[in-house]
Structure 1
Amino acid sequence: MKKGLSIVLGTVIALSLSACGNGATTANKSTDSTQPAQTKAVKKYTFGTDATYPPFEFQKDGKYIGIDIDLINAIAKEEGFEVEVKPMNFKGIIPAITAKQLDGALAGISITDERKQVVGLSDSYYQAGLSLIVREDNTTIKTPEDLKGKVIAIKKGTSGAKLADEYGKKYGAQVKYFDDSPSMYQEVANKNADVTIEDFPVISYKIAVDPNSKLKVVGDRLNSDFYGIAVSKDNEELMKKINDGLKKLKDNGKYDEIFSTYMGK
């Protein structure tokens, strides 16, 4: 009797354990099948820009647009990351990158050996070059040699500022510094300065869209600057994404499309 009871109880326990085991496995499978697949988090990078620098970056109807803005958004789309654009004064951009307040920047940044010491710079994406700009009725300035005793208005922290300093020392010119491009343009237009130095495509665009600028470009280009995208010097991952993205845009025609939107074909 005890033996028979033991057999019955053993069978019941075995069936119960078997049932519990199958139920747990099914539940696990059911749970796994209903859970959404995990997706890799998309990285977001903050890029600084100077929003007073058309056609590369400027504000229109409350939005920031321009060649550089379109370019970084297109690169981000190709390389699978997100972008936050942070407008700021140009002179603060490089320090903000080195202080890790920005991941990178696009702001018509000329590739120079000096900048390469503190930030990483991408492959070049545009050949610019600096030019002398005077008031439209000025007939005395055509070359750097004509700057003797003149007043140069210039934006702080730019490659033009470095050249202005050189001209100031070489030709005895006075250099007046400003925080933004519009202010230095106005200084020349108001005859408070004789000349300014600006990237050729930028000033050409301004004069074309603003017939009341009272400015004109004189002489040959002073140099042959190339623009690059700046990133934190130790961020090799972002640098690779940018260079790869630039190449893809040039190969698929998007690069030409962006530039033609603002500068014509």
Structure 2
Amino acid sequence: MRKFKWLFLLVILVMSVSLVVAGCGGQSNSGEENNGAENNAEAQKEKPKFTYAMSGLYKPFNYKDGGNLVGFDVEIGAAIAERMGMEPNPVTNPWETLIQGLKANKYDAIIGSMAITEQRQEQVDFSRPYYRSGAQVFISADNEEIKSPEDLVGKKIGVVKASTFKEVALEYTDEQNVVGYDSDVIALQDLPTGRIDAVITDQMVGLVAMKNELKIKDVGDPLWVDEMAIPVNKGNTELLDKINTALEEIINDGTYEQISEKWFGRSILGE
């Protein structure tokens, strides 16, 4: 009987020691798990997003390739976001509603080759220009009738909807003969078909299309020179200052020139 009593006590003692060891081990593992979770959370902590909009239909400035947004505007926006310590988040919106979307706070800024105009300045605040380019007339390569802008009188002219190009087209022809397109590229592609006689668009867009062997040609000198800048909501001086500072940085450190060389073979800053 005494033998069984001692055996019972021995079992109790072993179980107690096991519980103490397990308790200590559990506490240590819990600490390690907590530390691991904190480190993981820190590693996964996201930078604030810089959401900037464009039409996504303005090759080579901004367009979709394999479902991804690419182009000069996209890369300039990414470089600006990096300098501001933010995550780039380019999005698309129809060109004619870009400013409305900005005012509705759908995005932080527009980096979509938008020219500074007095009318737009009434609605938004612009950054410093990030490139300059001219409005250019383009025609089909086999068109021998149009030799200067003056020959556009009464002709059918293609322009992007809600763009400043429509205003100048109306100086040469009537409303019926101004054809609106969602994309400059589609308008230019319509020239060889004969559905339109000319297109007024950004000089760079047309020159890149010619480089890619679209059978078109330019007519005369640019009609005017536009300054493209980055709109933000009226009164958002904090963001505007950050964007301007970031722009200066990428211009001064060569990042801007590198991006411009990639897409155009030269700097298009125009300073």
Alignment partner of 1:214 is 2:219: no
Looking at structure 1, the residues matched to 177 and 243 of structure 2 have their Cα atoms a distance apart, in angstroms, of 39
Q: Does 2:96 correspond to 1:95?
A: no
3-state SS, counterpart of residue 166 of structure 1: coil
Aligned structure 1 segments of 4 or more residues deviating by more than 3 angstroms:
34-42
> Which residue matches 1:140?
145
Q: Could you say which residue in structure 2 is the equivalent of 1:130?
A: 135
Opposite residue 182 of structure 2, the aligned amino acid is D
Cα RMSD after superposing both structures: 2.3
Equivalence for 1:116: 121
- Extract unaligned runs of 5+ from structure 1: 1-33
Deviation, structure 1 residue 50: 1.8
Q: Does 1:63 align with 2:68?
A: yes
Q: Greater shift after overlay, 153-162 or 119-128?
A: 153-162
Q: Distance in 2 between matches of 1:124 and 1:101?
A: 23
Structure 1 residues 158 and 246: CA distance shift in structure 2, 3 A: same
**Matched residue SS, 1:225:** strand
TM (norm. structure 1) is 0.79
SS for the counterpart of 1:182 is helix
Q: Percent identity?
A: 30
In structure 2, distance between residues paired with 1:60 and 1:145: 37
* Residue 258 in structure 1 maps to residue 259 in structure 2: yes
The CA deviation string for residues 4-59 of structure 1, in whole angstroms up to 9 with x for no partner, is xxxxxxxxxxxxxxxxxxxxxxxxxxxxxx88799998432321112221221122
Aligned position for 2:85: 80
Unaligned segments of structure 2, at least 5 residues = 1-34, 267-271
Contact 2:50 2:81 in 1 (8 A): no
> Are 1:167 and 1:173, in contact at CA under 8 Å, matched by a contact in 2?
no
Check 1:99–1:73 CA distance in 2 against 1; reply closer, same or farther (3 A cut): same
2: CA distance, partners of 1:136 / 1:38: 58
CA distance in 2, matches of 1:38, 1:61: 33
Amino acid at match of 1:60: D
* Superposed displacement of residue 180, structure 1: 1.9
- Cα shift at 1:167: 2.8
Contact 1:152/1:173, CA 8 A, preserved across alignment = no
1:124 aligned counterpart, secondary structure: coil
- AA of the residue aligned to 1:111: I
* TM-aligned CA deviation for residue 217 of structure 1: 0.9
Q: Tell me, yes or no, if structure 1 residue 163 matches structure 2 residue 168.
A: yes
**Cα deviation 1:98-144 (Å, max 9, x = unaligned):** 22222211111111111111111110011101100101111121322
Q: Is the 8 A contact 1:49 1:88 kept in 2?
A: yes
Q: Provide closer, same or farther for how the CA distance between residues 57 and 203 of structure 1 changes in structure 2, counting only shifts above 3 A.
A: same
Aligned residue identity for 2:126? L
Question: What is the CA–CA distance in structure 2 between the aligned matches of 1:165 and 1:252, rounded to whole Å?
Answer: 42
2:172 aligned counterpart, secondary structure? helix
Q: How many equivalent pairs are there?
A: 229
Q: In structure 2, what is the equivalent of residue 29 of structure 1?
A: none
Distance between the aligned counterparts of 1:154 and 1:134, measured in 2?
12
Q: CA–CA distance in 1 between the matches of 2:84 and 2:161?
A: 33
Mapped pair 1:105 → 2:110: yes
User: Is the counterpart of residue 51 in structure 1 residue 49 in structure 2?
Assistant: no
The answer for the alignment partner of 2:192 in structure 1 is: 189
Contact 1:119/1:231, CA 8 A, preserved across alignment: yes
The aligned residue for residue 178 of structure 1 is 181
Could you tell me which amino acid in structure 1 is paired with residue 81 of structure 2?
Answer: A
